């Protein structure tokens, strides 16, 4: 399959590129930053707000992985962040539909619910948190991810393309993951708005590949998270301490994730392999 990957120079983008090349797919890559991947068919460097760049990058693509975005709200101009993420998402979906692309996999975020970057203390209505949880969004980044998901639904209705929007939590490996885990160990309260969720970047890349390769139809929003939390404190105790009174709709024994992953498992057959606690044989969990 010929696949366009946007945001190929990013943290997830690099792992997705490796995963798809290893699986034998032909890739076209684009990013604001130069991407040095001789194995790719083409590389385009530029801004996805440029319609000519999007048209050139999309030429011949059978599927798209849309990862490019401003990745957090810590910027001087929140309106510019919101406009950038929404505009580029619409550009990519519009051009994909116009040229007959049949499958788009897009990086949404757990921030689409409104917990992760909330500027005020907030708790979920319930856990495990599923894709139907009502919106709590107060920040421009989470709002832009909500818009991404609506753009995806609109494109599905208009063009008939199949879409998977993947709600990722914090995603990392190596030093990036080690720092995140150390922050949680020092004070679990710092990740109360993240619900102590995480995902190894290699698992994220595998989930993206499965979303491209599996026989699925429609437009889907799915939580993609590791099976465990970032904390050594049991999940039920974390909720009692930091989100008192929030109901647990199903038991959360041990360090079970507080995100409902049922939709992702059913749709993609995806099971994350990596945990920072006890690495699987042959895997580097860090």
First-to-last C-alpha distance (Å) of the chain: 30
CA 37, distance to chain mean position in Å, is: 23
> Which residue stretches of the chain have pLDDT < 50?
280-283, 286
Rounded CA separation 70/146 (Å): 14
Long-range contacts at 173-180 (CB < 8 A, ≥ 24 apart): 173/200, 173/201, 173/202, 173/284, 173/286, 174/286, 176/11, 177/276, 177/286, 178/286, 180/230
Rounded CA separation 270/213 (Å): 12
**Residues counted in the chain:** 286
Give the number of other CB atoms < 10 A from CB of residue 58. 23
Residue 252 included in any domain: no
Residue 95: which H helix or E strand, with range? Answer: helix 78-98
Residue 144 included in any domain: yes
Residue 165 included in any domain: yes
Averaged pLDDT of the chain: 96
Residue 42 included in any domain: yes
Residue 180 included in any domain: no
Looking only at the bridges linking them, the beta strands covering 199-200 and 171-172 are: parallel
Residue 216 included in any domain: yes
Residue 194 included in any domain: no
Residue 37 near residue 230 (C-beta atoms within 8 A): no
Residue 190 included in any domain: no
pLDDT of res. 282? 37
Range(s) of the domain holding residue 166: 2-172+199-226+258-268
What is the number of domains present in the chain? Answer: 1
pLDDT of res. 285? 53
> Tokens at residue 109, please?
């975020």
> Tokens at residue 52, please?
């000519």
CA distances from 276 to 122, 177, 190 (A): 27, 9, 19
Residues 56-104: tens digit of each pLDDT: 999 999 999 999 999 999 999 999 999 999 999 999 999 999 999 999 9
Q: What is the CATH number of the domain that holds 117?
A: 3.40.50.720
Rounded CA separation 225/228 (Å): 8
């Amino acid at each position: 399959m010929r696949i366009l990957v946007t945001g190929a120079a990013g943290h997830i983008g690099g792992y997705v590129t490796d995963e798809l090349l290893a699986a034998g797919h032909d890739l076209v890559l684009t990013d604001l930053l130069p991407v040095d991947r001789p194995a790719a068919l083409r590389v385009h460097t530029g801004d996805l707000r440029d319609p000519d760049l999007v048209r050139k990058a999309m030429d011949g693509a059978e599927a798209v992985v849309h990862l490019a975005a401003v990745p957090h709200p810590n910027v001087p101009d929140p309106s510019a962040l919101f406009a950038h993420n929404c505009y580029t998402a619409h550009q990519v979906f519009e051009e994909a539909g116009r040229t007959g692309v049949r499958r788009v996999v897009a990086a949404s975020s757990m921030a689409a619910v409104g917990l992760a970057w909330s500027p005020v203390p907030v708790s979920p209505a319930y856990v495990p948190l599923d894709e139907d949880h009502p919106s709590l969004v107060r920040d421009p980044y989470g709002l832009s991810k909500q818009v991404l998901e609506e753009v995806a639904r609109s494109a599905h209705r208009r063009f008939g393309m199949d879409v998977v929007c993947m709600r990722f939590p914090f995603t990392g490996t190596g030093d990036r993951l080690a720092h995140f885990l150390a922050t949680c160990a020092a004070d679990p309260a710092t990740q109360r708005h993240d619900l102590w969720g995480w995902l190894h970047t290699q698992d994220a890349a595998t989930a993206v590949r499965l979303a491209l390769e599996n026989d699925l139809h429609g437009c889907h929003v799915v939580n993609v998270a590791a099976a465990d939390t970032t904390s050594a404190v049991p999940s039920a105790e974390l909720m009692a301490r930091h989100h008192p009174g929030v109901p647990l709709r199903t038991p959360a024994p041990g360090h079970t994730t507080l995100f409902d992953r049922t939709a992702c498992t059913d749709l993609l057959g995806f099971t994350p392999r990596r945990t920072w606690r006890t690495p699987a044989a042959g895997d580097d969990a860090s």
